[in-house]
Chains A and B, each alone.
Chain A
């Protein structure tokens, strides 16, 4: 069957009442998650994981995916109105977005953010629909040595792109690898790092780690200063928010950011903050209006907002086709899939095509929903930031408890969540990035499996790799990319800003 046929089947499933409802719920929750500073898409999806216990896989994953891309829409609102990014990928939107608000052009900025997100999101979804099957065909021809090379590449990218220091990134990844090894060795049933404890035999639950690092850590950080944000901007009716000439002015910015965001999203380790910064820098160099960047240029809002939505769809390509999470939100989505016994990778497209294509089709629909939610209803969302933190923090902690407890009915998992919450806070203070830790937990299992299979193929050695050019290419690409990142860090002043996503 062709891609279009599969997509049509996906639409027929995504357009059912149940799936439409959960796409809408996910879009609304995602917008709220994006607007509220302190809760990113990763924590948002993690907090909703318990819901997977009562829903069938398709509506549950449709909802979790909608939370993810909905957060990208919502993140721009507080960036533009209050100079406070709702989540990391909207940091750069503050630069020109807030300037536009100060000039009395908040409505135009909000409208172009929503329109650019919609256009770029849709272009990237077309890319996902047609690019993913090509990657699947390629992936089906890959054996353990190639997968080993690919995971090595992913490791090097994640470690080198995260945070300020390569060393700290590697330390974080090593801790993630260590955590992943705790429990049963799935090949021979031997226990590792359990110290005779039966509780540890089941391993460290990934949901507990995520909840701790991303939800609980945020409470620990924000509890000191209660959030008090008030937006007093009055917005015109939605059809008067932006002029057609302004949309035309941003058209090519939106197209460029769509392609850039999509392809960069396919690369492991690139964060939303980096994508926004990259697209902003590209636009600042090529735009006719380049002199106004930093002073309220509308393209300075359109480009990063478009790019971060396209990045969302781009990062689904390696997740769905290869089972590789490129960043933390994807790792949580992967764990959601695995709760249902769905192992992302090339075989998922063969064994569960209706599920995969229904999720992809729902994203087209979700994009339309989010455009509607973010244009006429933007005034409602701005009021959400006024909710005092004393209401939000206890609720997050309650969700942390229920979310981690519900997976295995284990108090050990809840305690693990608390430990990782404290660890996340300490890592933040020590400038050790948490992203490599989380991604490593997922990648280590794939890495170990392919390593052991490769060694078995080579009769006890890794020499077989030398006869596999694709595997060698991935390994070399990883080494070259790490060297390039190290060079950029030491030679470019803007490198520091880029890698921190500031």
Chain B
């Protein structure tokens, strides 16, 4: 048995407990609000047991260092983008975000990257805000 299956089993067991706890909280009879959490909790419970006791032949892949760094950088930048957009506004934070991501991927040409990402951010701002009429955060500069 691969240890990863055990981890999936633990995850399923936790979700099962959560579902049963929620079933208990909202239970108002069979056919009521708690029915589906009960069914889903039972499936998770069953799966957790099977993942623990049955060996599997599925070959899983590990995340290599390069992928982990890429995931952390891109994911982290995106999370930061969500945080700063309210303060800096859509236009500036999008420019910053696009430039950082593009520079990370290309690892060269910083000047041209800053120029084209700025142009893309400005176009996106114009299209989404003015052409499509979407509400976008304006930030402290009210742009």
Contact = CB atoms under 8 A, between A and B. Distances in A.
Contacts of A430: 4, 8, 60
A174 B134 contact: no
A444 interface: yes
B35 A452 contact: yes
A193 B22 contact: yes
B82 A422 contact: no
Given A394-B117, A429-B61, A414 B82 contact: yes
A343 interface: no
Interface in A427-448: 428-432, 444, 448
B115 interface: no
Given A171-B12, A220-B71, A220-B74, A429 B58 contact: no
A164 B56 CA distance: 11
A391 B115 CA distance: 12
A334 interface: no
B60 A431 contact: yes
Contact of A165 (B58, B106, B120, B135): B58
B44 interface: yes
Contacts of A409: 135
Contacts of B87: none
B36 A444 contact: yes
A366 to B, nearest CB: 23
B94 A398 contact: yes
Given A170-B43, A414-B82, A448-B35, A53 B70 contact: no
Chain B CB within 10 Å, residue with most, of A54, A171, A224: A171
Nearest to B79: A418
B101 A394 contact: yes
A296 to B, nearest CB: 32
Nearest to B108: A390
B114 interface: no
B40 A50 contact: no
A130 interface: no
Contact of A190 (B4, B33, B82): B33
A396 to B, nearest CB: 10
Given A181-B37, A192-B22, A415 B79 contact: yes
A67 interface: no
B122 interface: no
A390 B37 contact: no
Interface in B84-104: 85-86, 94, 97-98, 101-102, 104
A177 interface: yes
Nearest to A452: B31
A54 B133 contact: yes
B10 interface: no
Interface string B33-51: 1011101100110010011
Interface residues of A, number: 61
A98 interface: no
A455 interface: yes
Contact of B35 (A170, A175, A402, A451): A451
Interface in A65-91: none
B30 A460 contact: yes
A397 interface: yes
Nearest to B94: A398
Interface string B54-73: 10101111110011001100
Contacts of B128: 50, 402, 406
A471 interface: no
Contacts of B79: 415, 418
Given A174-B47, A187-B33, 6 more contacts: A192-B26, A226-B105, A393-B102, A398-B124, A418-B75, A430-B4
A340 interface: no
A497 interface: no
Nearest to B54: A167
B98 A177 contact: no
B31 A460 contact: yes
B4 A167 contact: no
Contacts of A461: 30
Contacts of A428: 61
Contacts of A22: none
A87 B50 CA distance: 34
B31 A401 contact: no
A429 B62 contact: yes
Contact of A455 (B30, B54, B94, B120): B30
23 contacts: A51-B132, A170-B43, A170-B47, A177-B40, A178-B15, A185-B26, A190-B33, A192-B22, A224-B66, A391-B116, A394-B120, A397-B78, A397-B101, A398-B124, A401-B94, A402-B128, A402-B134, A406-B128, A431-B61, A448-B35, A452-B31, A452-B32, A456-B31
A201 to B, nearest CB: 14
B137 to A, nearest CB: 9
Contacts of B81: 401
A50 B132 contact: yes
